[in-house]
Amino acid sequence: MKHILFLLITIFCLESQAQDSSPSINYQTIFHKNGELWIAQKFIDGQKVLQESYYENGVLKERFKIKNDKPHGSGVYYFPSGSVQEKYTYFNGRLIGSHERYYTLKKIRFIRTYNNKKKLSGTGTWFHPDDSIITGKFSYDEDGKIHGIFMKYPRDENCNLLTEVKCYYRHGKVITKEQYFDD
């Protein structure tokens, strides 16, 4: 009998501890003048972990994660239509990794990369709205400034190549610019 009583007390204590250690989840909301949700924030144990903002028509505008009161993790920004406009990642409040922006038709507009110093790094690539033609390509230096060759391929409304522009940059400043025409 003592063993059963001890076992029941142990189970009760473990259940009580499990209930006491469950996180406290709360939400804070702010509304537009028209009554639609504007901002929604999620808190776990008093720490903000997620923020969403909405357009006046109720469509989600932006969603990103938060850690230590700073954006941290993946985030998405939406067009008023609800389709994705941008995808990005934060680490302790700084943009890091791939940053993608889209045209309204869900086609990629550009891809660029941020290093851990909140600076652009690596390469950036811009695309024509038809999603298959690169319209610009460039590299960044360690300070996030365009450095090296910047290629630009302007197109007309039928996607025909108008010209080719090649600019040479040194730490964000144009050194030379060449333009080529197809005869």
List, for residues 122-150, the tens digit of each pLDDT value.
667 777 666 556 666 667 776 667 777 77
Q: Per the domain annotation, does 7 fall within a domain?
A: no
Could you tell me if 48 and 42 are in contact, meaning their C-beta atoms sit under 8 angstroms apart?
yes
Residue 29 and residue 90 in one domain: yes
Residue with tokens 């994660």: 65
Which of the pair, 107 or 164, is modelled with greater confidence? 107
Residue with tokens 């522009």: 165
Q: Per the domain annotation, does 27 fall within a domain?
A: yes
Q: Enumerate residues 6+ apart whose C-beta is below 8 A from 22.
A: none
Please state, in angstroms and rounded to a whole number, the distance separating the CA atoms of residues 124 and 163. 20
Residue 85 and residue 30 in one domain: yes
Residue 145 and residue 119 in one domain: yes
Rank 46-60, 88-102, 107-121 by mean pLDDT and report only the highest: 46-60
Residue type, 154: P
Q: Per the domain annotation, does 153 fall within a domain?
A: yes
Could you tell me if 152 and 159 are in contact, meaning their C-beta atoms sit under 8 angstroms apart?
no
Residue 121 and residue 139 in one domain: yes
State how many domains the chain has. Answer: 2
Residue 179: strand pairing partners? 165
Mean pLDDT of 10-24: 56
Could you tell me if 76 and 84 are in contact, meaning their C-beta atoms sit under 8 angstroms apart?
yes
List, for residues 79-100, the tens digit of each pLDDT value.
999 999 999 998 888 888 888 9
CATH assignment of the domain containing 47 = 3.90.930.1
Expressed as residue numbers, the domain containing 89 is: 23-95
Q: From residue 77, how far is each of 10, 52, 81, 84, 135 by CA, in Å?
A: 49, 10, 11, 6, 23
Q: Per the domain annotation, does 9 fall within a domain?
A: no
Residue 67 φ/ψ, nearest 5 degrees: -145, 130
Q: From residue 74, how far is each of 15, 71, 87, 94, 101 by CA, in Å?
A: 35, 9, 7, 11, 14
Can you give the pLDDT at residue 16?
44
Can you give the pLDDT at residue 86?
94
Q: Per the domain annotation, does 2 fall within a domain?
A: no
List, for residues 101-111, the tens digit of each pLDDT value.
888 777 888 88
CA 176 to chain centroid:
33
First to last CA, the chain: 100
Q: Which of 95, 129, 157 is the last residue of a domain?
A: 95
Mean pLDDT of 160-172: 73
Q: Which of 75, 95, 115 is the last residue of a domain?
A: 95
Q: Which of 95, 120, 149 is the last residue of a domain?
A: 95
CA 39 to chain centroid:
18
Q: Per the domain annotation, does 63 fall within a domain?
A: yes
Q: Per the domain annotation, does 1 fall within a domain?
A: no
Can you give the pLDDT at residue 146?
74
Can you give the pLDDT at residue 22?
87
Mean pLDDT of 140-167: 69
Q: Per the domain annotation, does 11 fall within a domain?
A: no
Residue 86 and residue 38 in one domain: yes
Residue 17 has pLDDT above 50, yes or no: no
